[in-house]
Amino acid sequence: MATIQGIYAREILDSRGIPTIECTLWLDNGGIVATSVPTGTSIGKYEAKELRDNDINRMLGKGVTTAANYINTYIAPLLVGKDPTTQDEIDGLLIQQDGTNNKAKLGANTTLAVSQAVMKGGALSMNIPLYYYIQQKYQTVTEVMIPTCIYALINGGEHGADNLDIQEFQIVPASHIAYEESLNMAVTLFHKLEEVLAIKGAIHSVGLVGGFTPNLYSNSDVFEILVETIKATPYTFTQDLFFGIDVAAEQLYRNGHYTLKDRSTPFSGKELLEYYKKIRDMYNVFLIEDPFQEDDLDMWKAITTELGETTKIVGDSFLVTSQEKVANAIEKKLCNAVLIKPNQVGTITETVKVIKLAKQSNWQSIMSHRSGETNDDFIVDFAVGIGTEYVKFGPPNRGERVAKYNRLSQISFEINQAKKQQLQAGAQPAQLK
């Protein structure tokens, strides 16, 4: 069995030009893997902490040379000689060395860089694809499948340009749409949307994560634009696809009220719930992420009670990939789905525990990118191997997002080829794994 021979971390830039960590791991059999961690813009106050240099004379204080140095001088010597397939043990060591409940000492960016590198190293040592290695290790699903993609086409909030309040307007393909066709759908709609915006004289530049940032009068106008765009394609709204939104309501919350451009006066929590019910009925909004501020628990419970039977109420900044918070939300029925972001918690092992808890409670999980991404496609293999029902990688635009879709296409091809080979060998479809 191969063992870890060395680990080295360095500072690189994410898709926003902000520093993050790349970590390279060497095995004693000559194998090498590298990985990098994303960083967020819309950050929940309960997320695990990133470690930054805070040197205002360099990288605006956002450098991560301290974090990289921790890996190179402090963590790496502890891991040399260890079996990379012992993920839980190594992640446990990282958690122990940090010693805080929010990675305040080492930083979640530090621990996740190492944790991801170890996971990739384990797969390489076994000489099997990363997604299959993860599936075999955790066995949260009996076979690997391609999750449904949630494609964000229009951005507002902190991802936009002061144009819209809601952070993401998404399309969610129907369950009968295969991945390859859903990608075709997303690409078609993305480019048709640009044409529609241009014809209307609206701004059609893209925002922080690659979605369009049109200058519309209200958030509700976006749905009308999207419906018009769909009509210009071969796809049928509410048959082939539905809408989703990431509200990121923490950004809208001031002095006990929520402010949206849709009206001149702020919304109370109950009024905002009525707004969500209205757009749910009018536009078949199938998914609502972070509809209320993180501590507005009464409204989280109210929306789940009133809309949860037909709508996915997703916790992101509300749950921050925290096992404790997800368990509490499950018990109190505060939402019914969880967004998964490994850098919100800091290790793969802790992330897996949250996904397992969600599955045990019949919740669905959505593996998600961050606004500050790299070309690393680790979360694609992770999502497929661990069996999240959905993935959210952004629009089919910008290299760091497209890298995820290209990797998903490769995995889809490999899965389909494996099934064909098994069929040709005489296996029955029900036996395929």
* CATH number of the structural domain spanning residue 167: 3.20.20.120
Q: Which domain holds residue 265?
A: 138-423
pLDDT at 430: 47
Segment 385-412 mean pLDDT:
97
pLDDT digits (tens, 9 = 90+) for 310-333: 999 999 999 999 999 999 999 999
Cα–Cα distance list, 315 to 249, 322, 328, 329, 359 (Å): 11, 11, 12, 9, 15
Considering the domain architecture, whether residues 246 and 395 belong to the same structural domain is answered as yes
Structural domain contains residue 70: yes
pLDDT digits (tens, 9 = 90+) for 188-232: 999 999 999 999 988 888 888 999 999 888 888 999 999 999 999
Among residues 72, 94, 127, the one where a domain terminates is 127
Does residue 432 have a pLDDT over 60?
no
pLDDT digits (tens, 9 = 90+) for 83-111: 999 999 999 999 999 999 999 999 999 99
Residue 245 banded pLDDT, cuts 50, 70, 90: very high
Residue 359 banded pLDDT, cuts 50, 70, 90: very high
Structural domain contains residue 372: yes
Query: Which SS3 state, helix, strand or coil, does residue 324 take?
Result: helix
* CATH number of the structural domain spanning residue 100: 3.30.390.10
Residue 157 banded pLDDT, cuts 50, 70, 90: confident
Q: At what angle do helices 378-386 and 108-126 cross, to 10 degrees?
A: 70
Structural domain contains residue 352: yes
pLDDT at 194: 96
Among residues 127, 151, 180, the one where a domain terminates is 127
Does residue 428 have a pLDDT over 60?
no
Considering the domain architecture, whether residues 111 and 200 belong to the same structural domain is answered as no
Structural domain contains residue 398: yes
Structural domain contains residue 433: no
Considering the domain architecture, whether residues 145 and 91 belong to the same structural domain is answered as no
Q: Quickly list H helices, 340-398.
A: 348-360, 378-386
pLDDT at 167: 93
Please give the share of the chain, as a percent, with pLDDT higher than 90. Answer: 87
Residues in the chain: 433
Considering the domain architecture, whether residues 112 and 18 belong to the same structural domain is answered as yes
Segment 152-171 mean pLDDT:
85
Structural domain contains residue 432: no
What is this structure's pTM?
0.95
Strand partners, 338: 315, 365
Structure tokens at 259: 């402010």
Considering the domain architecture, whether residues 92 and 166 belong to the same structural domain is answered as no
What contacts 10, CB < 8 A, 6 or more positions away? 21, 22, 68
Residue 262 banded pLDDT, cuts 50, 70, 90: confident
Among residues 77, 93, 127, the one where a domain terminates is 127
Considering the domain architecture, whether residues 187 and 274 belong to the same structural domain is answered as yes
Segment 355-363 mean pLDDT:
97
Considering the domain architecture, whether residues 83 and 148 belong to the same structural domain is answered as no
Residue 118 banded pLDDT, cuts 50, 70, 90: very high
Mean of per-residue pLDDT scores for the chain: 94
Structural domain contains residue 133: no
Please give the share of the chain, as a percent, with pLDDT higher than 70. Answer: 97
Does residue 21 have a pLDDT over 60?
yes
Segment 278-285 mean pLDDT:
95
pLDDT at 43: 72
Considering the domain architecture, whether residues 165 and 88 belong to the same structural domain is answered as no
Structural domain contains residue 132: no
Name the domain count of the chain: 2
Considering the domain architecture, whether residues 70 and 168 belong to the same structural domain is answered as no
d(CA 54, CA 51): 9
Considering the domain architecture, whether residues 154 and 255 belong to the same structural domain is answered as yes
Does residue 334 have a pLDDT over 80?
yes
Considering the domain architecture, whether residues 171 and 151 belong to the same structural domain is answered as yes
Q: Are strands 253-254 and 257-258 parallel, antiparallel or unpaired?
A: antiparallel
Considering the domain architecture, whether residues 232 and 154 belong to the same structural domain is answered as yes
pLDDT at 425: 81
Measure the N-to-C terminal CA separation of the chain; round to a whole number of Å.
26
What contacts 268, CB < 8 A, 6 or more positions away? 256, 257, 258
